[in-house]
Structure 1
């Protein structure tokens, strides 16, 4: 798939083989620290919820009560905390709840998370800028506290350009945690801080402390958590609060009032808030919300010589659940030993532990089993760590150099400094298969359902039960007979065959067959086609323009403001910006084709139109309504950098590191380790290093 594509660097490279054995290619997912610490952060928020506001924000006045307190309600702090609301079981947040903790003991270190956030701000911004931010926050809050203050409108404070993506993400989080009444946005790498209008509006309805706790709960985004406002006997006032949350956060949150017992042991009412789930609207009954909570179990899957989807098929068949009940953040190599976090729905930790020995016989091990409160999401992956052995080292046939070690050193330094072209790797397309996944994706996009099914069942040139079943089906169209032959773990194939047996192998039957496969698997094939087009576009872009930024290129603003549409974050480079060298090639992105993306306004944009026309696709065609597939498109950087690169040479026979400059090529192996961002391929990075196609 990459043989004719461009390289970024100009070193000579060297030859070698990879994946001689699974242990030669080890992949370990790197989870985001924020994801790993999220439960701890939620717990910290609970512990600080009773701290006085001037402590938790370090600059604000004591909490005020802008609203009229209902009759009989205890004034805050005068007679102890009220009991927490007792909702019906369907609102149970479990240990993931971010509701204020009313039972905190005296002497607990309430300020530790706040001090940690302050320390992060000092380290990321420097003490002087951190103090200026603190002063801005105090001044803004003071202006808000003055009624009818003319200066209380929109205010902004610039933190200056923050070029490092990770530092920007850390700053967004640290600012929101220390100052919940502020929001942060990024404009061309410049971070802007301004007042949160929603925070200000809510603070006019409830106490300052409740407002602060609510926005911390909102920022934590724990899917099964709940938040409780203080007991409130004023029905009209509760209605106003309900309406505010519905108006501002209705797509994300839902609210309900419950009877509670206040500090005076009197019945009262309180508003509880929780995050919505997409399926909840279908699960509601006439009596309210469904009581049963889903069970989630997290674990680390170690697999060897297995595709990710194949491994999930084995697990699903053994556990009696659907493959769609598993969540994960990426597809891992087959010819490798890989480690990746997963979460499975409807399965308890005890049940998962029971199948451990059976899965070992399939090439899998299950580690670190524990309860979870939600599925994994794509944004929770920081990247992957690769530990790779390259064997059979030699010079390229056209290379007359006698010093292989120098060639290796030159290649490593070059790629570490300049990076590599961010192609999708060959495993994205089914490396070595007679029919590759992008061909199936194109057939689905063209709504050629029968063709897509036949491509899907095209066998490989081997004599085994799986390929024999595929061969039998294509020859006879006997779906029922193919089902008998096909092994149980081939979940996707069985789902499709069951539908074909019921509805027939015509256009309608094949459409229903594809619908019988989970959405995530259906769209996998379409994404493979989109990835192929992106690879071709990247190679074309580098061939005609090289590594210089040119007019009409697209650059992406990494603005974390989710209210800003994706296309508004993409900027078309102008001629004056090219002359001023405003952007680097590392900031240039190319679109993944879809119905809602911009195309470059140079020759590359024209190339996209011609390439898609060749495949009988138009720009508006990236919706396949019969299969419920919607492909809006996205953007991908042309280049990527490698992190934490290290390597050494080893004598393959003696297993000792080599330090001298004279290598006996046939007996030497290269051990190389590096980190890559999500959706980057180690084989592509190695291709750039070695100047070899795999």
Structure 2
């Protein structure tokens, strides 16, 4: 059950019904324009705020904010990047450049980004940042450069190969001047001497771009250094690349005329073609594991994960080969960008007609360079119809149209409480997702599996199979009963069939499904706790900012940790009314965040203790789950609101042989930030639950 919601505004509201049909609730993801550009300048990396950063290292601390963004001492004499007579920077280009297409659900919250911090946890991530800047400091100053080159930083043992691969990529893309290597499953980071050497020849920007191009290994892509009129210098650069990367890359000087019809010569780098070395499948086709295809998925009356299961079964790939930026509502028509790995655009087009019969449409199919990451979106646009409008039973004093105008204007001005919506927890299900998440956090693996297979009160193949499993624990028999598109269930059952329905077998079963799905359940539990905390905070202190509250400071400095951006309100600041309730955040529980130092912090401790958890207990090593935590604003605003009323002349209520007023429907559209719920916003407008 969800906690008792609090209201922010004081208007009266009205009643109505939503989601009478999927077309009454249309969700369109507001896509970041650069997501699908074929240019490497719009890389789909496991990060968010870093994408706007021009340098390869975090910005300087406050004491150096007068310097340009970048790493320490980039402009110091003899520092990397000060090649002879060089300026500007290079860029990589892909042969297929396309225009832009047009809720982080699993990792929501202010300041949260699914990059290194998510993979490593905030403490290790911050230590890595410090190590990276120390290396650049030593290189830039010239003092201790050799010692810096020999220094190593351990990320600890990483047993899962996919997690290691994600970390290798994330570290090198964020810090191109570092290299990563693995020693007996332990990941080591150190300075890249090749990066430093190239920095002596070309600018820092070009060097960073070159190593990102090298790491991405995109087939048929090229990298161009800035124009260079010095032939001897070009020769030196050619020799460096051929000496270090000759087996992988080839270079060529290319001359063209500039805007003033003057000849301009640049060095172009591309990957060498592999002759006869490509892997082939049984059918003789080239291995497609490096192929990425982007598309827009429109689905109706389907969960996002269910839709992915159907697509995966049809395309003969794994659900984990699909990436997306957020989970979308089931009882709606939703449009969202996706990327699938190992599938060509032509193959995806072939299944379009089959998918339409299953409630999906596939649009805007085009090549992509990388997968998507959760949270990599601007927000969502909603087009909603509220039908059967009427007064609340206790209110009939005002015109209904006036009530609606008052309600919309009130929420547009003041916003709403930023609760997670009921669909986050599996609205209407016997077992909600947060219950499974709590079992996983407590490492009760068998209980989590049985909760996962708890059936609904319906007689259909899926629920009959779940019912059979709980009665018999016959994983093999259940596998036969389940439809093919139930990929998650089948993955889990295969492990249970092999290892047994015991603690070890259930642990291996959970490891058999993708990491993003495992952590989905834990995040659902964290969201439930946040909702309860928000209700308690507003009930206890109202809209006044009090001592011990946490407020988010608008700080853009990349070297400032997330915790340092969250400030604890002092008694003096409370007296001076220094902060607004719109700046107050509450923590999403995790092992690396701080809690309010007032009654709300005590509430968190008591609430988690009730579930046999502690403030720091948000790592589940057997399942490779790491929940550092984040912060979420208590209040949010709605944007770009528009609405109109439509009369339904066919529906006329007859009482005492007289015609009452015609029924009206409310058509309302608005935009919300990522991880905000339209049903929660509507609840504030209408002052009723759904």
Following TM superposition, by how much is the alpha carbon of 1:576 offset from its aligned partner in structure 2, in angstroms?
2.1
1:378 is paired with a residue whose SS is: coil
Offset of residue 618 of structure 1: 1.0
Change (3 A) 1:442 1:94: same
Instruction: Tell me by how many angstroms 1:315 deviates.
Output: 0.3
The equivalent residue for 2:178 is: none
Choose the corresponding residue for 1:578, options 574, 577, 583.
574
Q: Normalising by structure 1, what TM-score?
A: 0.68
Alignment match, 1:643:
639
How far has the Cα of 1:461 moved from its partner?
0.5
Distance 1:397 1:626, change over 3 A: same
- 2:324 — aligned with what? 328
Q: Structure 1 unaligned segments of length 5 or more: list them.
A: 44-56, 58-62, 78-83, 86-91, 98-146, 149-197, 243-254, 275-282, 284-290, 656-662
Change (3 A) 1:271 1:589: farther
C-alpha distance 214-473 of structure 1, shift in aligned 2 (>3 A): same
Q: CA deviation at 1:392?
A: 1.2
Does residue 621 (structure 1) correspond to residue 617 (structure 2)? The answer is: yes
Any unmatched runs of 5+ in structure 2?
44-67, 69-74, 98-139, 142-191, 256-266, 272-278, 280-286, 652-658
Residue aligned with 2:591, SS: coil
Going from structure 1 to structure 2, the CA distance change for 1:234 and 1:502 (only over 3 Å counts) comes to: same
Counterparts in 2 of 1:639 and 1:223: CA distance versus 1, 3 Å: farther
Residue 11 in structure 1 maps to residue 4 in structure 2: no
> Given the alignment, which residue of 526, 529, 548 partners 1:530?
526
Q: Superposed, which structure 2 residues align to 1:299-318 within 5 Å?
A: 299-318=295-314
Q: Offset at 1:238?
A: 5.5
Identify the match of residue 211 of structure 1 among 199, 204, 207: 204
Q: What is the rounded CA distance, in whole Å, between the counterparts of 1:234 and 1:410 in structure 2?
A: 71
Counterpart CA distance in 2 for 1:402 and 1:64 is 71
Q: 1:650 to 1:618 in 2, by over 3 A?
A: same
Question: Superposition RMSD on alpha carbons, in Å?
Answer: 4.0
1:683 aligns with 2:679: yes
| SS of equivalent to 2:340 | strand
How does 1:50-89 map onto structure 2 within 5 Å?
none
Provide TM-score, normalisation by structure 2: 0.68
Which of 451, 456, 467 is equivalent to 1:471? 467
In structure 2, C-alpha distance between the alignment counterparts of 1:350 and 1:259, rounded to whole Å: 30
Q: Quote how far apart the aligned CAs of 1:570 are.
A: 1.4
Counterpart of 1:485?
481
**1:580: Cα distance to partner?**
2.9
Partner residue of 1:387?
383
CA separation of 1:237 and 1:465: change in aligned 2, threshold 3 A: same
Query: Is the partner of 1:381 in helix, strand or coil?
Result: coil
- Indicate the residue corresponding to 1:400 in structure 2: 396
Describe the superposition over 1:532-586 as per-residue Cα deviations: whole angstroms up to 9, x where unpaired: 0000000100111111111111112343444332212211111222233322111
What's the counterpart of residue 149 of structure 2?
none
Would the alpha carbon gap of residues 448 and 552 (structure 1) be closer, same or farther in structure 2, given more than 3 Å must change?
same
- Give, in whole Å, the separation in 1 of the partners of 2:80 and 2:363: 54
**Which of residues 627, 633, 647 in structure 1 aligns to 2:629?**
633
Q: 2:250 touches 2:269 (CA, 8 Å); kept in 1?
A: no
Query: How far did residue 218 of structure 1 move?
Result: 8.6
Cα offset, 1:647, TM superposition: 0.8
- Quick check: which one's helix share is greater? 1
- Which structure 2 residues correspond to residues 18-29 of structure 1 after superposition, within 5 A? 18-29=18-29
Deviation per CA, 1:470-515: give whole Å up to 9, x if none.
0111111111111111111111111111111111111111111111
Contact 2:238 2:251 in 1 (8 A): no
Alpha-carbon separation, structure 2, partners of 1:341 and 1:68:
39
| 1:393 and 1:669 in contact (8 A); partners too | yes
Relative to structure 1, the CA distance from residue 666 to residue 498 in structure 2 (aligned partners, 3 Å threshold; closer, same or farther) is farther
1:276-316: CA deviation from partner (whole Å, max 9, x where unpaired) = xxxxxxx9xxxxxxx98711100000000000000000000
Structure 1 position 649, deviation (Å): 0.7
Asked whether the equivalents of residues 387 and 664 of structure 2 are also in contact (C-alpha less than 8 Å), the reply is yes
Partner of 2:667: 671
- Equivalent position of 1:53 in the other structure: none
Aligned length: 520
Q: Is the counterpart of residue 344 in structure 1 residue 340 in structure 2? A: yes
Shift, 1:95, TM fit:
3.0
* Separation in 2, partners of 1:309, 1:257: 42
Of 542, 549, 572, which aligns to 2:538?
542
Compared CA separation, residues 296 and 525, structure 1 to 2 (3 A): same
Relative distance call for 1:25 and 1:19 in structure 2 (3 A) is same
Q: Which stretch has the larger CA shift, 622-631 or 555-564?
A: 555-564
